[in-house]
């Protein structure tokens, strides 16, 4: 049985899972937080249940050593000789990476070269890669990119109508995001329905704190809502999603916004937070129920945007077999699932209220029997997808 340590390194955190793609569920999960911030913390959940330790963690290498020490003390045993691979989530693969790759110094240099496209994420991912390569020098390390599933998009879908030379010089185009989730879910749907993925046209709605839609034809992405960066597309917890870019010019000219202020406004103070005062969809619903008109409008905007993308992707796909909800909101929020697809009955898209009710921990059909389009909820599992891809790369 293969065994993979999956790492998702942020600028001040390392999220990890130890799992075997052939087994059900991870052997251990954990999160190192507040790296380099004076008061760090690790939460590790292994065979003995959760353990938490608070201590200063200077950098990612110290964080990685802490992970290893915690495995040694609380289990399961993490022996380098039993690891098939370490799988790293990397946010931006640009147009350099169309699939997962084994990490060597050249790959590290290429991920670094793409940092201007993901200035917060790629450097953080590289810190994690460096720390893990130091900790496990003899184990294969594999990079799995959030963008690579979207590399099958045709030029018509990924090209912005921007001056061609400017775009080329600065690598400006649509790359997409959440690709690991879109890939996992679009394949899991085919498997669940007992259909060949090559014959299935699917719209995947990944609705978490970040949110994105994708159109998948025969297992290949043909369009997605995230753009050059994960700011485009659907309304998110704190991000605008699509907005007229001239709004930025307007704020710069008339209100003195500089790049930092615009970045902060668009990425951290907008979306559901900016509209309703809450990032968490549960809080938005509570506010709607309490009669808050702003929250009502925010939810309407959220649904309207999703419905618009569904319509767009129906047009691009021509025939839609399945629409799939996933991630925190997609898996748990029956109000959003029903609201986003309301009014599409004419197109054969119907959500059955009884089937839709409640949170879904396993693949579930929520459309009525015989509906032209099967609507489902499929829980995503990005760590499992990263582990699978890492094993495939090592085996190849
Ligand atoms: P991330 O993008 O951070 O990975 P997740 O996919 O974990 O996000 O989704 C987190 C979001 O899911 C929360 O911000 C919240 O809005 C939403 N969520 C979680 N549980 C529920 C629930 N029971 N009902 C509605 N929304 C939920």
Whether the pTM exceeds 0.85: the reply is: yes
Query: Is 207 annotated as a binding-site member?
Result: yes
State the distance from the centre of ligand 1 to the C-alpha of 210, rounded, in angstroms.
Answer: 9
Look at residues 268, 329, 276, 271 and name the one whose alpha carbon lies nearest to residue 305: 271
pLDDT of 379: 98
State the distance from the centre of ligand 1 to the C-alpha of 285, rounded, in angstroms.
Answer: 13
Q: How far apart are the first and last CA of the chain?
A: 16
**Residue to probe by mutation, ligand 1, list 31, 180, 210, 281, most atoms within 8 Å of CB:** 281
Query: Is 332 annotated as a binding-site member?
Result: yes
Secondary structure in 3-state letters for the chain = CCCEEEEEECCCCEEEEEECCCCCCCCEEEEEECCCCCCEEEEEEECCEEEEEEECCCCHHHHHHHHHHHHHHHCCCCCHHHCCEEEEEECCCCCCCCCCEECCHHHHHHHHHCHHHCCCCHHHHHHHHHHHHHHCCCCCEEEEECCHHHHHCCHHHHCCCCCHHHHHHCCCCCCCCCHHHHHHHHHHHHHHHCCCHHHCEEEEEEECCCEEEEEEECCEEEEECCCCCCCCCCCCCCCCCCCCCHHHHHHHHHHCCCHHHHHHHHHHCCHHHHHHCCCCHHHHHHHHHCCCHHHHHHHHHHHHHHHHHHHHHHHHHCCCCEEEEEHHHHHHCHHHHHHHCCCCHHHCCCCCHHHHCCCCCCCEECCCCCCCCEEEECCCCHHHHHHHHHHHHHHC
Structural domains for the chain: 4-145 (3.30.420.40), 195-382 (3.30.420.40)
Distance CA 1, CA 21 (A): 8
pLDDT of 120: 86
State which residues of the chain have pLDDT below 70. Answer: none
Query: Is 331 annotated as a binding-site member?
Result: yes
pLDDT of 193: 98
Residue nearest atom 13 in ligand 1 by C-alpha distance: 280
Look at residues 237, 215, 235, 213 and name the one whose alpha carbon lies nearest to residue 226: 213
* CB count in 10 Å sphere of residue 255: 8
* CB count in 10 Å sphere of residue 115: 16
Distance CA 207, CA 227 (A): 16
State the distance from the centre of ligand 1 to the C-alpha of 327, rounded, in angstroms.
Answer: 7
Atom of ligand 1 minimally distant from the CA of 207? 6
Tokens for 364, please give them. Answer: 């579930």
pLDDT of 375: 98
Query: Is 282 annotated as a binding-site member?
Result: yes
Q: Rounded to 5 degrees, what are φ and ψ at 340?
A: -65, -30
159-190: pLDDT as tens digits: 999 999 999 999 999 999 999 999 999 999 99
Atom of ligand 1 minimally distant from the CA of 206? 6
Atom of ligand 1 minimally distant from the CA of 359? 23
**Residue to probe by mutation, ligand 1, list 286, 329, 338, 339, most atoms within 8 Å of CB:** 329
223-248: pLDDT as tens digits: 999 999 999 999 999 999 999 999 99
Tokens for 223, please give them. Answer: 């369009």
State the distance from the centre of ligand 1 to the C-alpha of 128, rounded, in angstroms.
Answer: 25
Query: Is 339 annotated as a binding-site member?
Result: no
Active-site residues, by number, are 146
Burial 6-16 (b: 16+ CB within 10 A, else e): bbbbbebbbbb
Residues with CB under 6 Å of ligand 1 are 208-210, 237, 279-282, 327-329, 332-333, 359
Tokens for 391, please give them. Answer: 């094993």
């Amino acid at each position: 049985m293969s065994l993979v340590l999956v790492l998702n390194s942020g600028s001040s955190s390392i999220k990890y899972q130890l799992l075997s793609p052939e087994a059900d569920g991870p052997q251990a999960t954990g999160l190192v937080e507040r790296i380099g911030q004076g008061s760090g913390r690790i939460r590790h959940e292994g065979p003995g249940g959760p353990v938490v330790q608070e201590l200063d963690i200077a950098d990612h290498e110290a964080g990685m050593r802490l992970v290893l020490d915690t495995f040694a003390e609380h289990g399961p045993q993490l022996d380098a000789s039993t690891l098939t691979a370490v799988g790293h989530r990397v946010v931006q693969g640009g147009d350099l990476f169309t699939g997962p790759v084994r990490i060597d110094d050249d790959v590290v240099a290429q991920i670094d070269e793409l940092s201007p496209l993901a200035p917060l994420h790629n450097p953080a991912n590289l810190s994690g890669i460096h720390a893990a390569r130091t900790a496990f020098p003899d184990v294969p390390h594999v990079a799995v990119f959030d963008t690579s599933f979207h590399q099958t998009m045709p030029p018509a879908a990924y090209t912005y109508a921007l001056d061609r030379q400017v775009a080329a010089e600065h690598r400006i185009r649509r790359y997409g995001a959440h690709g690991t989730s879109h890939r996992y879910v679009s394949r899991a749907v085919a498997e669940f329905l007992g259909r060949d993925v090559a014959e299935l046209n699917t719209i995947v709605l990944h609705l978490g704190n970040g949110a994105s839609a994708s159109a998948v034809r025969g297992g290949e992405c043909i369009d997605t809502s995230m753009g050059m960066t994960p700011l485009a597309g659907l309304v998110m917890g704190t991000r605008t999603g699509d907005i007229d870019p001239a709004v930025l010019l307007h704020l710069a000219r008339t209100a003195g916004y500089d790049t930092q202020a615009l970045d902060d406004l668009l990425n951290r103070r907008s979306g559901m937070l900016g509209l309703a005062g809450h990032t968490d969809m549960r809080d938005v619903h509570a506010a709607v129920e309490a009669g808050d008109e702003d929250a009502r409008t925010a939810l309407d905007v959220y649904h309207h945007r999703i419905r618009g993308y569904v319509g767009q992707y129906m047009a691009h796909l021509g025939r839609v077999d399945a629409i799939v909800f996933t991630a925190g909101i997609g898996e748990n929020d029956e109000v959003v699932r029903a609201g986003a697809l309301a009014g599409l009955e004419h197109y054969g898209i119907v959500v059955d209220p009884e089937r839709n009710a409640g949170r879904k921990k396993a693949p579930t059909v929520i459309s009525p029997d015989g509906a032209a389009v099967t609507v489902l909820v499929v829980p995503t599992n990005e760590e499992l997808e990263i582990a699978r891809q890492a094993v495939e790369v090592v085996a190849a």
